[in-house]
């Protein structure tokens, strides 16, 4: 059996699935392998556009991107669409057209990541893509949100996104009623921002790294997520997890702490009253908590010992909870 090409005899559907894990440029290059592979790339369900292999030749990248988007088999869906670029000369009209084509082909996953800061605006059509299951946004401006309708979205990842109006983030979160995994990182939340007063019945995992985060926001988030299992929060390395609490702790304990929260990670932890108070609140109320991991802001042994000593003295309602200091 030596020399037999076992891969090429596989059905088209399996070959296209294998190719969907590769960048589109590599996928197209497989068309030169043989006649068997010549037309497969037209049906691959993933489009992965990245201008980094083109060495700042915007014209070549544009020709390549349009070839990928316009030469596909029109009967085949684009389930996953990834767009990553470093060149600031790519026009918004090109970006909008590529995203529009992906949306028309029943896209389920969109990753949109320009590699330069705050010069690209998010096309609003993305926020009304009713089939979308996962959305990852990075290095973008959001400055106009007329409406949000993402009924099937399960994963939302927002990193280094600047919202020109605090209400836009509230609108986006409110438009994702089925969300399971939420990640908001390196976002400067405006002082007026308040998480939407809606319930996320399926939200189980939250990662929140935000500047000027307030206790009120965390309370609202916990109350809105009755099945939350994993909470991972971190603040500015200079100011700690939270700003000063702007209201007392709630009289009633959020439902997720009573029956679901199993892991809590606190990053850029300071040995000040606010951070200690928050860790204490979780330990005293999370009944099924298995692990709390604390990442200290400083590596100084005295500083770390102070935190460990203070936290160790806090009574824990969960008999299985362990505290780890990193």
Report mean pLDDT in 10-residue bins for the chain, 326 residues: 69 82 82 76 84 79 88 87 82 88 93 75 92 94 91 95 86 94 84 76 92 75 94 71 61 91 89 80 94 81 77 90 87
pLDDT in tens, 208-265: 887 666 777 888 889 999 999 999 988 665 555 666 555 567 778 999 999 999 999 9
Long-range contacts of 146-151 (CB under 8 A, 24+ apart): 147/171, 147/175, 148/172, 148/174, 148/175, 148/176, 149/175, 150/175, 150/176, 151/177, 151/178
DSSP 247-313: SPPPSSPPHHHHHT--EEEEEEE-SSHHHHHHHHHHHHH-TT--EEEEEES---HHHHHHHHHHHHT
The two beta strands, 205-211 and 80-85, are unpaired
pTM of the model: 0.85
Other CB atoms within 10 Å distance of the CB of residue 119: 11
What are the two backbone dihedrals, phi and then psi, of residue 116, each rounded to the nearest 5 degrees?
-135, 150
What is the rounded radius of gyration, in angstroms, for the C-alpha atoms of the chain?
23
User: Residue 165 carries which DSSP code?
Assistant: S
- Residue holding tokens 């009289």? 251
Q: What local confidence, expressed as pLDDT, does residue 165 receive?
A: 84
Contact 325, 308 (CB under 8 A): yes
Contact 209, 234 (CB under 8 A): yes
The two beta strands, 109-114 and 134-142, are parallel
pLDDT in tens, 130-161: 999 999 999 888 988 999 999 999 999 999 88
């Amino acid at each position: 059996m030596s020399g037999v090409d076992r891969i090429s005899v596989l059905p088209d559907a399996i070959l296209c699935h294998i190719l969907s894990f590769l960048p589109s440029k590599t996928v197209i290059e497989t068309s030169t392998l043989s006649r068997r592979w010549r037309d497969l790339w037209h049906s691959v369900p993933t489009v992965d556009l990245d201008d980094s292999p083109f060495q700042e030749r915007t014209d070549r990248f544009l020709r390549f991107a349009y070839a990928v988007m316009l030469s596909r088999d029109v009967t085949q869906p684009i389930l996953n669409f990834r767009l990553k670029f470093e060149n600031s000369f790519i026009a918004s009209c090109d970006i909008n057209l590529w995203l529009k084509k992906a949306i028309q082909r029943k896209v389920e996953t969109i990753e949109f990541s320009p590699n330069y800061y705050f010069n690209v605006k998010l096309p609003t059509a993305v926020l009304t893509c009713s089939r979308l299951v996962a959305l990852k946004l990075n290095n973008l401006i959001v400055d106009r949100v007329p409406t949000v309708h993402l009924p099937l979205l399960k994963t939302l990842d927002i990193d280094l996104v600047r919202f020109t109006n605090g209400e836009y983030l509230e609108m986006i979160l409110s438009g994702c009623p089925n969300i399971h995994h939420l990640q908001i990182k390196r976002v400067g939340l405006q002082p007026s921002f308040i998480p939407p007063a809606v319930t996320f019945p399926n939200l189980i995992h939250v990662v929140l790294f935000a500047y000027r985060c307030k206790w009120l926001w965390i309370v609202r988030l916990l109350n809105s997520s009755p099945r939350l299992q994993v909470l991972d929060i971190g603040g500015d390395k200079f100011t700690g997890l939270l700003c000063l609490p702007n209201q007392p702790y709630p009289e009633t304990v959020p439902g997720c702490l009573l029956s679901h929260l199993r892991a809590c990670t606190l990053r850029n932890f300071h040995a000040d009253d606010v951070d200690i108070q928050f860790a204490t609140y979780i330990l005293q109320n999370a009944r099924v908590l298995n692990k709390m991991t604390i990442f200290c802001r400083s590596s100084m042994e005295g500083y770390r010992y102070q935190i460990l000593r203070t936290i160790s003295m806090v009574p824990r309602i969960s008999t299985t909870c362990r505290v780890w200091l990193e």
